[in-house]
Amino acid sequence: MNVNPYLILNGDCEAAFTFYAQATGGTLGPMMRFEGTEGCEDMPAEYKQKIMHTHVMFGQSVLMGSDNHPSYPYEGVKGCSVSLSVDSIADAERIFAALSDGGQVTMPLAQTFWAVRFGMLVDTFGVPWMINCEKDA
């Protein structure tokens, strides 16, 4: 069994997931669009090129996402964070810096009682992240 976060974004899923792959070194999956997808025939013309589904692979973990359907107003990402565990301080620092670029740091990356590095941020797309490195490889 796996738990895989699924982000619903406000029309910027393609930009967000391209950014996440670049910032983390993850592997970006295909960008499936609403246009031509069975069950999405009611999508307004201005949404047809938006993302119906995509993902980024991080080792054995996957972060999935799509753009919201205009019938369901976007309310932002609330009540959870994407938690990314890394194996080295260098990776924690690199990924934290990349993800926080244009966003807001809510807890600076620093040593804690449980980790050699931990920090929290909200990225430029409004997604909360926690970066955790429990020991340096």
Residuewise pLDDT in 10s, the chain (137 residues) = 888 999 999 999 999 999 999 999 999 999 999 998 888 888 899 999 999 999 999 888 999 999 998 888 888 999 999 999 999 999 999 999 999 999 999 999 999 999 999 999 999 999 999 999 999 97
**According to the model, what pLDDT value does residue 69 have?**
86
Give the strand order in the sheet containing 82-85.
82-85, 128-133, 117-122, 104-110
- Note the pLDDT of residue 27: 97
Maximal C-alpha separation, the chain:
52
Task: Tell me how far apart the alpha carbons of residues 124 and 118 are, in angstroms, rounded to a whole number.
Answer: 19
- 4: how many CB neighbours lie within 10 A of its CB? 9
* pLDDT at site 30: 97
CA distance 97 to 133: 14
